[in-house]
């Protein structure tokens, strides 16, 4: 699994080689039972297959030995099962093509992964809701292009990420992946003569059928699923990047927790790096990179070729595991996030009134026109103390006294509808 042990979650087990092998045995076992129920194999043959088609008798090591000779993983599995079934081995895998087994197993794995990711993503949403509510009226400076803009609140900041998380979660919910396939070599059911066998097998695993397949389920289904995971990690990266930027020494409004024995740098003892947020951002790039092969896998030739197989052995497991990992990681980051309220206030007032130049411009527009007001305040913003420069300007003094100017340039008086927006988002 490359170096995925470093980014391990419970999904590593779901996509492990042993678990996949066990699921393949289960599908072959249920296929045999369905064939028996439809009168296609004798009762005694089914009894033997039901008993022997399990890891107690069929060993993964034996499958690998056979594969060295036959160069076909599913046929190696079939041979290994057949060896354990004696005279009834010929009834194993009856009517099936390899991807009847593979796509059904993938459906089981991806459905399990989806549910686990959704559960932990919901935790992210709940934690972000708490942060949004807790800081809904905490005023701070907004930034566009990395430059101080006008005031906003941390309720708005967290609320925006909350909204993005909700959208991303809905995308994953809509990416239906609980499909399997028991439809034969090119999807015509010619080897089975009925769709009933597919219904019997898939019902055992709570999977559904696609209305039509070739030898494989359309990779549009899987691409949509991976696209939803790419969307999730992109939202998490957006969130993590904001934390990273707000932790910069010169900003210092937010800090990741720093444990007692934690080390920031091997040489610079003073360092307190946002390393967990950086990890989220880095892993998000990897997950997004797997979207391209998922899209290209849609374009298989005729009723299928094998170009999807090798990529899917990588991208299915890794997109799920890594998405799950960064979701868990973000939950840890957010649960222990520190807000430096002193620095938040310092940065809010740092421009000495210039952060509310828009408010003054709008009020001055009624007196001298919008464009003249904009030009006047643009020039005054070059002064070291914007508020004092405004109070000393003759044109502005004709319309506003010093107390009015202080009120207009107070950031706490220019938060717009931020409180209402956040409360509606939280449905307070």
In 3D space, the residue among 241, 250, 322 whose CA is nearest the CA of residue 274 turns out to be 241
What amino acid positions are annotated as catalytic residues?
145, 265
Domain definitions of the chain by residue range: 4-91, 99-180+218-260+267-346, 354-408
The CATH fold assigned to 99-180+218-260+267-346 is Fumarase C; Chain A, domain 2 (1.20.200)
* CATH hierarchy code of domain 4-91: 1.10.275.10
Report pLDDT for 265: 65
How high is the pLDDT of residue 221?
A: 97
Would you state the pLDDT for residue 427?
92
Please tell me the predicted confidence (pLDDT) of residue 257.
82
Q: 194, 38 in Cβ contact below 8 A?
A: yes
pLDDT at 3: 59
> Is residue 260 pLDDT above 80, yes or no?
no
Closest to 8 measured CA to CA, from 282, 226, 324, 230: 324
Reported as a single tens digit per residue, the pLDDT across 218-240 is 999 999 999 999 999 999 999 99
Q: Which long-range contacts (CB under 8 A, 24 or more apart) does 19-26 make?
A: 19/109, 20/105, 20/109, 21/55, 21/60, 21/63, 21/77, 22/55, 23/105, 23/108, 23/109, 24/74, 24/77, 24/101, 24/105, 25/53, 25/54, 25/55, 25/58, 25/77, 25/81, 26/205
Percent of the chain with pLDDT over 90: 94
> Residue 1 pLDDT > 50, yes or no?
no
Residue 396: predicted pLDDT: 95
Q: Is the pLDDT of residue 259 over 90?
A: no
User: What predicted TM-score, i.e. pTM, was given to this entire model?
Assistant: 0.94
Strands 208-209 and 254-255: unpaired
Q: State the chain's mean pLDDT as an integer.
A: 95
- In this predicted structure, which of 48-57, 115-124, 251-260 has the lowest mean pLDDT? 251-260
């Amino acid at each position: 699994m490359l170096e995925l042990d470093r980014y391990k979650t419970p999904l590593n087990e779901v996509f492990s080689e042993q678990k996949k092998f066990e699921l393949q045995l289960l599908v072959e076992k249920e296929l045999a039972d369905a064939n028996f129920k439809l009168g296609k194999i004798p009762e005694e043959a089914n009894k033997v297959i039901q008993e022997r088609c399990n890891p107690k008798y069929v060993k993964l090591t034996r499958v690998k030995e056979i594969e060295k000779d036959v160069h076909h993983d599913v046929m190696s599995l079939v041979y290994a099962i057949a060896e354990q079934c004696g005279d009834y081995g010929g009834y194993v895998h009856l009517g099936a093509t390899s991807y009847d087994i593979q796509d059904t197993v993938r459906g089981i794995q991806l459905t399990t992964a989806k549910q686990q990711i959704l559960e932990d993503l919901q935790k992210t949403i709940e934690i972000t809701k708490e942060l949004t509510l807790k800081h809904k009226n905490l005023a701070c400076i907004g930034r566009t292009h990395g430059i101080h803009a006008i005031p906003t609140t941390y309720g708005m900041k967290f609320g925006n990420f909350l909204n993005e998380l909700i959208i991303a979660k809905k995308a994953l919910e809509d990416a239906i992946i609980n499909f399997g396939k028991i439809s034969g070599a090119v999807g015509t059911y010619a080897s089975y003569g009925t769709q009933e066998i597919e219904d019997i097998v898939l019902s055992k695993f709570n999977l559904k059928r696609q209305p039509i397949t070739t030898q494989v389920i359309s990779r549009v289904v899987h691409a949509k699923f991976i696209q939803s995971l790419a969307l999730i990690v992109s939202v998490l990266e957006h969130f993590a990047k904001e934390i990273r930027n707000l932790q910069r020494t010169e900003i210092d409004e937010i800090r990741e927790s720093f444990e007692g024995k934690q080390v920031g740098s091997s040489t610079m003892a003073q360092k307190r790096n946002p390393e967990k947020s950086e990890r989220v951002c880095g892993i998000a790039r990897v997950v997004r990179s797997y979207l391209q092969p998922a899209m290209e896998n849609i374009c298989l030739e005729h009723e299928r070729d094998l170009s999807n197989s090798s990529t899917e052995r990588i991208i299915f497991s890794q997109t799920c595991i890594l998405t799950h990992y960064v979701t868990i990681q973000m939950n840890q980051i957010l649960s222990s996030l520190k807000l430096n309220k002193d620095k938040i206030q310092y940065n809010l007032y740092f421009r000495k009134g210039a952060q509310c130049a828009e408010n003054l411009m709008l009020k001055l527009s009624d007196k001298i026109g919008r464009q003249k007001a904009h030009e006047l305040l643009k020039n005054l913003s070059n002064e070291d103390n914007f508020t004092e420069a405004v109070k000393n300007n003759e044109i502005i003094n004709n319309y506003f006294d010093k107390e009015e100017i202080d009120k207009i340039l107070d950031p706490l008086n220019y938060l717009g509808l931020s409180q209402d927006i956040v409360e509606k988002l939280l449905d307070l």
